[in-house]
Amino acid sequence: MAGQRVEVDGGIMEGGGQILRVSTALSCLLGLPLRVQKIRAGRSTPGLRPQHLSGLEMIRDLCDGQLEGAEIGSTEVTFTPEKIKGGIHTADTKTAGSVCLLMQVSMPCVLFAASPSELHLKGGTNAEMAPQIDYTVMVFKPIVEKFGFKFHCDIKMRGYYPKGGGEVIVRMSPVTQLNPINLTDRGSVTKIYGRAFVAGVLPFKVAKDMAAAAVRCIRKEIRDLYVNIQPVQEPKDQAFGNGNGIIIIAETSTGCLFAGSSLGKRGVNADKVGIDAAEMLLANLRHGGTVDEFLQDQLIIFMALANGVSRIKTGPVTLHTQTAIHFAEQLAKAKFTVKKSEDEEDASKDTYIIECQGIGMRNPNL
């Protein structure tokens, strides 16, 4: 299998952990030996961090591959993939590194494994600079399953910054091929719901205040819908450490899902956390797309692998999405086009259609 090594520059475009995730997942899927250089070159702490390392090690283990240069702070790794196998695999960031980002790198791979997989992912479930686990379950899951697979996500323990300590178990069966998706009809917003949580020593009042502030903020713009945000005290035996945050979801008549979320930090009052999440949701609803800014880039790898033409309608195309497209084209040879939406109702908005001719990846192990 070892052909020419594909060279990836980890310092271009988004220049962070995402390049590593997309390129190692594609390398593993396509059996392409890979070298990534200048890893996270533009970041304040360049090189591999614990969460990137645990993601790489899990991909290596998933396919019995070889990994060189994989240590904390390393700016270059080489990876030689072998056959993807199912079974039980564990990845532990030992920090608040995001379990959702571990899921992002491993999920495309285990879809093309030889048998069902169970991934034990440990780290932060609700971490900064990453999707919250609630987002993964409530937004990412129902949409990504439109590609023609199902996965089960069991949140065993929630974990927060700075200690992590969370654990999520993901179970999924392999597929022969992925179906393309067409998400271009937005419909109208039919419901808005969410959860505002506190964990550990934080008082329940914080959850209620986050929820109330978020509802007030949304009501200013959307008057005719009931907004149902549940305040939640995470059970002691299901949450490690202290944390608070909120996620709010809008669902449309055509089944599109949008979210706004925010995490509490020391010294930031509860109202502000709630308002930040509400404003993020409202911003995602204004642009007329069918996916929010966080789902955009997560769908690219699946579109690239699918058998046929996929289309999604988005707001402004994020740097993360441009980066994912760049590497999906370079490594998988999928063809993407991004153009402004021509629908009349989108004329005044920043709305785009991302179209992809997928490569129709077939599972060689089934």
Which residues belong to the active site?
320
Say how many C-beta atoms besides its own lie within 10 A of residue 69's C-beta. Answer: 17
The response to whether 294 counts as a known ligand-binding position is yes
Q: Which residues of 19-28 are buried (b: 16+ CB within 10 A; e: fewer)?
A: bbbbbbbbbb
The response to whether 295 counts as a known ligand-binding position is yes
**Owner of token pair 């091929």:** 177
Q: Which residues of 219-233 are buried (b: 16+ CB within 10 A; e: fewer)?
A: eeeeeeeebebebee
- Name the H helices within the chain: 17-30, 50-62, 99-111, 133-135, 141-144, 204-221, 270-286, 293-305, 319-327
Alpha carbon 121 to its chain centroid, in Å, reads 14
The response to whether 357 counts as a known ligand-binding position is no
Largest pairwise CA distance in the chain: 60
SS3 250: strand
Say how many C-beta atoms besides its own lie within 10 A of residue 200's C-beta. Answer: 15
Give the residue among 295, 265, 293, 297 at the shortest CA–CA distance from 279. Answer: 293
Say how many C-beta atoms besides its own lie within 10 A of residue 337's C-beta. Answer: 11
The response to whether 296 counts as a known ligand-binding position is yes
Torsion of the alpha carbons at 171, 173, 177 and 179, rounded to the nearest 10: -50
Show the tokens assigned to 121.
């992912």
In the annotated binding site, the residues are 104, 294-298
In the annotated binding site for ATP, the residues are 104, 294-298
